[in-house]
Amino acid sequence: MTTVTATRRTFGQLLRSIQIPPVYFFLLAIFLVGGILDLVFSDGQIFSNPAIRLNILVRSVALGIVAVGQTLVIIGASIDLSVAYVVSITAVMSSFVMQGDPNNIPMAILVVVGIGIVIGLVNGLIITKLHVNAFITTLGTSLILKGIINATFSNYSGSVPRSFEYFGYGRLGPIPVSVIILLLVVVGGWFLLSRTKFGAHLYGVGGNAEVARLSGLRTDRVLIGAHILCSLTAVLTGLFIVSRLRSGAPWVGPDGFYDLESIATTVVGGTLLSGGKGGVWGTLAGVMIFSVLDTTFNQLGVNPYLTIVLRGAIIVLAVASYTFRSKQEAA
Amino acid sequence: MTQEMPVANAAPQAEKPPVLEVQNITKRFPGVVALDDVSVQFMPGEVHAVVGENGAGKSTLMKIMVGAYVPDSGEIYLNGEKVSFAHPQEALAKGISIIYQEFNLLPERTVAQNIFFGREPSKLGVIDVRQMNKNAEAVLNEIGVGSMITPTVLVSSLSVAEQQLVEIAKAISFKAKVLIMDEPTAALTLTEVRLLDDLVQRLKQRGMAIIFISHRLNEVFEIAEKITVLKDGKFINTVRASEVAPADVVYLMVGRTLDHYFPPLGQPEEFGEVVLQVQGASNDFLQDINLELRRGEVLGIAGLQGSGRTELAQALFGVTPFKTGSVTLYGKGITMRTPAQAIKNLVGFVTEDRKTEGLCQMQPIRDNMLLTVRSIQFVFGAILKDGIRKSRNLVSTLGKQVDVKTDSYDREVQYLSGGNQQKVVLSKWLASDAKVFIFDEPTRGIDVESKASIHDLIRNLTRNGTAVVMISSELPEIIGMSDRILVMWEGRIAGELPANASETDIMLMATGRTANGSMETAAAGME
């Protein structure tokens, strides 16, 4: 019975019914192109190497975690440019508090989580209560954070104990701990968005804030919540980075371009920059696209600037294809 | 002006106490007093209609009762207890629910998600999706559309009428004591209007107070026990529907007879050659459009919301162009793929929504008036060719022509009243020397005086040899202004009617029936 209906459906209908974000076709295409280049130029050594395959995933972790948070605020029709410096401040503060002593780990985590909540709360309060545009608000807090940490720390300060490096380098069986954490964050984000009241309200606030208000929703609280969660994902990314680097420095956030790249991967993943539509699975694919591209081109020895050019082209192409699709659907 | 009429608002004798009462409500917006000292009582188990022209303050009053606006002064009493709502949530929690005139749904969410938006059944914040869909189905069944609308489909995939039904389902699901319906039938067909009527009867029997806003008077008289008339933000009277005739209510609403309201129609000898002709044109929203527009005539376009009226205007102006068919202007085939081409072909478009499409709110009157002229001139022309003096002269000529009331043309248009803003929109098209004008809802939401002067202006345009296409959802305006009337239905032109056609004939066509259909069925849902 089920097979009959399944075969009657066209392939396109099937895809729509299981709702795979279209960005996965981009990801597939990038994999295929990477695979062909790999076969032609290096006899398939890149993708057949398990270490490199894992590296693609590990490269996705830092950006992936914070991009999930960014997806939340963008679905709420907001934006967070301060995440890069939240990453920095987390990296620096956690290694400074830990000072190589495993006994300090809980304290350090408590401190940076606290900092993350405060930054998210401040961002959310300024945006919702003072009605300052989210772009400007988070640009402002981002500059404030930049000034503070650059004045306080000039270089690597403190270090993380060996046990904390488990986050960045440890494995559970064949799978890196960090990849498991990324997946947990993505699944958590998906659950939050699609199964909870908070998620439903966030889509509403982002889709049309006035409709949400007239439906009796306290829109401010929802958006403040999203900003706190976004800052917390940036904290988690900061903790991952410091466990990889073994010590934190003020420049790790801005040098990783976590602000603009988390926005870019969210949008490439199919989330509307104007809010109300999208999801974290798409964002994960967006992040993977970038890391597959980086890894293959890096292994092939392609000029790194060409990789950047391609990243730019992919961002524009992906988003252009979505607007084209949605125009067709409207027709 | 108030006539001798039975007054229902006087001391409630043996009646139950009012469930909702507003007293001395005043609300000002920049440049307008939307409500001026309005007091009304609403009884349980009663349908109470609030009528008035556009701009009379009906919607403002509703928004105050549901906490969407906070009044400047005055009190609200619910079951005799003084209440004040700072947020819609507070009104909803106290049992006041509303079906809005504009759609208040999230298109990218499902029907069930929309109905229970903000009140999702949940445990520890996790939504019980199955329960939510089941509840949504129950609510849809309750209003009798369970077979039409599935709870799990996206709202964006529904028709306009179906979306309106979802709105109604959403409002019902609050289990309110007071239900406000703001023009609930504007987008509905006759069958759906019947469903709504049945529903209203059932809700009334449960003791719910229903406040019904409409300007279809036949509908009001069929459904309501009491009628409150507002005019220009003031309370005029509350009357019992059984004790007055519709004509009395019309008199209260407009405060004058309708003939004074519109300039005389065009005379046959004033109509010239065909200016604009569209043949077999279609696009994604419109099918097989054929029309002719003659010099000197006002062609009225009527139709329900979502029938393709605005889409037709946008196609004629190149905003969403026709994909097939031909458009000729003075017998020459032309292409209008962009508004710029339309302006060069001397077509002007006065848009429906002056706030977002008609004016740059934060720019002065002067710059708004010159927008179209500048868009077709060489960019630096205004400065190089002695343009400053010329444009100053042009601005003052235009200002006098449309009679904008302002102390300076340097004032930002956002500070003007709706009527004056609309005059600025008009003047920007007058400046372009257009030969064909498209008006989309030229007088929506503006005061009576400005309305009359805009109608005079439109007629003067045709007297001076231009041709006008006028889209309006107000039937009196269509009938009062049009030399010919085209009625749209589901993206097509359903038919053409001569000047002075009856409202019944127009509404029959607009709901997909022919003019010779049975008159009894027509009277049920519309005027």
Give all domains of chain A, ordered by start, each with its CATH number: 60-321 (1.10.3470)
Contact partners, residue B158, CB within 8 Å, separation at least 6 = B111, B149, B166
- A63 contacts A236 by C-beta, under 8 angstroms: no
B70 touching A (Cβ < 8 Å):
no
Q: How far apart are CA B229 and CA B237, in angstroms?
A: 5
pLDDT of B272 over the 70 cut: yes
B113 touching A (Cβ < 8 Å):
yes
B473 touching A (Cβ < 8 Å):
no
**Binary contact (B117, A196; C-beta < 8 A):** no
Confidence of residue A53 (pLDDT cuts 50, 70, 90): confident
Q: Annotate B24-81 with DSSP letters as a single string.
A: EEEEEETTEEEEEEEEEEE-TT-EEEEE--TTSSHHHHHHHHTTSS--SEEEEEETTE
- A240 contacts A65 by C-beta, under 8 angstroms: yes
Which positions in chain A touch B119 (Cβ < 8 Å)? Answer: 216
Q: What pLDDT does residue B519 have?
A: 37
- Residue B303 three-state SS: strand
Residue of B137, B135, B139, B103 lying closest to B120 (CA atoms):
B135
| Cα dihedral sign, A301-A303-A306-A311 | positive
SS (H, E, C) chain A: CHHHHHHHCCHHHHHHHHCCCCHHHHHHHHHHHHHHHHHHHHCCHHHHCHHHHHHHHHHHHHHHHHHHHHHHHHHCCCCCCCHHHHHHHHHHHHHHHHCCCHHHHHHHHHHHHHHHHHHHHHHHHHHHHCCCCHHHHHHHHHHHHHHHHHHHCCCCECCCCHHHHHHHHCEECCEEHHHHHHHHHHHHHHHHHHHEHHHHHHHHHHHCHHHHHHCCCCHHHHHHHHHHHHHHHHHHHHHHHHHHHCCECCCHHHHCCHHHHHHHHHHHCCCCCCCCCCCHHHHHHHHHHHHHHHHHHHHHCCCHHHHHHHHHHHHHHHHHHHHHHHHHHHC
**Binary contact (A196, B127; C-beta < 8 A):** yes
Mean pLDDT computed over A117-124: 97
The per-residue pLDDT for range B12-24, each reduced to its tens digit, is: 444 678 899 999 9
Which positions in chain B touch A214 (Cβ < 8 Å)? Answer: 66, 68, 88, 98, 100, 104
- B397 contacts B454 by C-beta, under 8 angstroms: no
Which positions in chain A touch B93 (Cβ < 8 Å)? Answer: 216
Q: Annotate B143-194 with DSSP letters as a single string.
A: TT-TTT--TTSBGGGS-HHHHHHHHHHHHHTT--SEEEEESTTTT--HHHHH
Buried b (16+ CB within 10 A) or exposed e, B246-274: eebbbbbbbeeeeeebbbebbeeeebeee
- Please, what is the average pLDDT of chain B? 81
State which amino acid sits at residue B309: R
B117 touching A (Cβ < 8 Å):
yes
| Mutant choice from B87, B108, B163, B174 vs A, greatest count of A C-beta within 10 A | B108
Contact partners, residue B377, CB within 8 Å, separation at least 6 = none
Q: What pLDDT does residue B13 have?
A: 46
Residue of A64, A87, A27, A28 lying closest to A184 (CA atoms):
A64
| Mutant choice from A205, A210, A214, A271 vs B, greatest count of B C-beta within 10 A | A214
Q: Who wins on pLDDT, B4 or A247? A: A247
Which positions in chain A touch B89 (Cβ < 8 Å)? Answer: 216-218
Question: Which residue spans within B359-499 are E strands per DSSP?
Answer: 436-440, 467-471, 484-489, 492-498
Phi, psi at residue B436, to the nearest 5°? -125, 125
Listed range (A191-195, B326-330, B358-362, B410-414) with the worst mean pLDDT: B358-362
- Residue B459 three-state SS: helix
- A222 contacts A76 by C-beta, under 8 angstroms: yes
Confidence of residue B187 (pLDDT cuts 50, 70, 90): low
**Binary contact (B127, A330; C-beta < 8 A):** no
CA B91 to chain centroid = 25
Per-residue DSSP letter, B355: I
Which positions in chain A touch B106 (Cβ < 8 Å)? Answer: 203-204, 207-208, 211, 276
Q: How far apart are CA B209 and CA B266, in angstroms?
A: 47
- Residue B261 three-state SS: helix
Which positions in chain B touch A201 (Cβ < 8 Å)? Answer: 117-118
How many H-runs (helices) and E-runs (strands) does chain B carry? Answer: 19, 22
Q: Which among B92, B106, B113 has CB closest to A216?
A: B92
- Please, what is the average pLDDT of chain A? 88
Q: What percent of chain B has pLDDT over 90?
A: 21
Listed range (A67-76, B154-163, B293-302) with the worst mean pLDDT: B154-163
State which amino acid sits at residue B54: N
First-to-last alpha carbon distance for chain B, in angstroms, is 25
Which positions in chain A touch B127 (Cβ < 8 Å)? Answer: 195-197, 200
**Binary contact (B108, A277; C-beta < 8 A):** yes
Which positions in chain A touch B314 (Cβ < 8 Å)? Answer: none
Q: What pLDDT does residue A103 have?
A: 92
Confidence of residue B525 (pLDDT cuts 50, 70, 90): very low
The per-residue pLDDT for range B191-214, each reduced to its tens digit, is: 777 878 888 888 888 888 999 887
**Structural domains present in chain B:** 1-95+176-190+204-257 (3.40.50.300), 103-175 (no CATH), 275-346+434-527 (3.40.50.300), 357-433 (no CATH)
| Interface size between A and B, measured as CB pairs under 8 A | 72
A215 touching B (Cβ < 8 Å):
yes
Q: How far apart are CA A319 and CA A268, in angstroms?
A: 6
Q: How far apart are CA B82 and CA B97, in angstroms?
A: 18
A188 touching B (Cβ < 8 Å):
no
* Nearest-CA distance A326 → chain B (Å): 12
Q: What pLDDT does residue A141 have?
A: 96
Which positions in chain A touch B88 (Cβ < 8 Å)? Answer: 213-216
**Binary contact (A204, B119; C-beta < 8 A):** no
Q: What pLDDT does residue B250 have?
A: 74
* Nearest-CA distance A144 → chain B (Å): 32
Q: Which among A195, A200, A218 has CB closest to B117?
A: A200
- A64 contacts A287 by C-beta, under 8 angstroms: yes
Which positions in chain B touch A277 (Cβ < 8 Å)? Answer: 108
Which positions in chain A touch B117 (Cβ < 8 Å)? Answer: 200-201, 204, 211-212, 215, 217
B104 touching A (Cβ < 8 Å):
yes
- Taking CA–CA distances from A218, the nearest residue in chain B reads B89
Q: What pLDDT does residue A18 have?
A: 56
The per-residue pLDDT for range A253-302, each reduced to its tens digit, is: 998 899 999 999 999 999 999 999 999 999 999 999 999 988 888 888 88
Calculate the dihedral angle through the C-alpha atoms of A247, A250, A256, A262, rounding to the nearest 10 degrees. Answer: 110
- Taking CA–CA distances from B114, the nearest residue in chain A reads A204
* Nearest-CA distance A328 → chain B (Å): 10
Per-residue DSSP letter, B401: H
- B302 contacts B277 by C-beta, under 8 angstroms: no
- A157 contacts A92 by C-beta, under 8 angstroms: yes
**Binary contact (B117, A212; C-beta < 8 A):** yes
Listed range (A141-150, A240-249, B254-263, B460-469) with the worst mean pLDDT: B254-263
pLDDT of B30 over the 70 cut: no
Query: CB neighbours (10 Å) of residue A142?
Result: 22
The per-residue pLDDT for range B349-396, each reduced to its tens digit, is: 888 777 667 778 788 888 888 777 776 655 554 454 556 677 777 888
B378 touching A (Cβ < 8 Å):
no
* Nearest-CA distance B126 → chain A (Å): 4
pLDDT of B252 over the 90 cut: no
Contact partners, residue A67, CB within 8 Å, separation at least 6 = A261, A262, A265, A266, A269, A283, A284, A286, A287
Q: What percent of chain A has pLDDT over 70?
A: 92
A201 touching B (Cβ < 8 Å):
yes
Residue of B336, B316, B342, B349 lying closest to B430 (CA atoms):
B349
The per-residue pLDDT for range B82-117, each reduced to its tens digit, is: 998 888 888 888 889 888 766 688 988 999 999 999
pLDDT of B407 over the 70 cut: yes
Q: How far apart are CA B510 and CA B268, in angstroms?
A: 26
A213 touching B (Cβ < 8 Å):
yes
- Taking CA–CA distances from A222, the nearest residue in chain B reads B118
Per-residue DSSP letter, B272: -
Q: What pLDDT does residue A3 have?
A: 40
Q: What pLDDT does residue B448 have?
A: 66
Q: Tell me: ipTM over 0.85.
A: no
Q: What pLDDT does residue A13 have?
A: 59
B268 touching A (Cβ < 8 Å):
no
Confidence of residue A129 (pLDDT cuts 50, 70, 90): very high
Q: What pLDDT does residue A81 have?
A: 96
The secondary structure of chain B in percent helix, strand, coil, rounded to multiples of 5, reads: 35, 25, 40
pLDDT of B527 over the 60 cut: no
Q: What pLDDT does residue B183 have?
A: 78
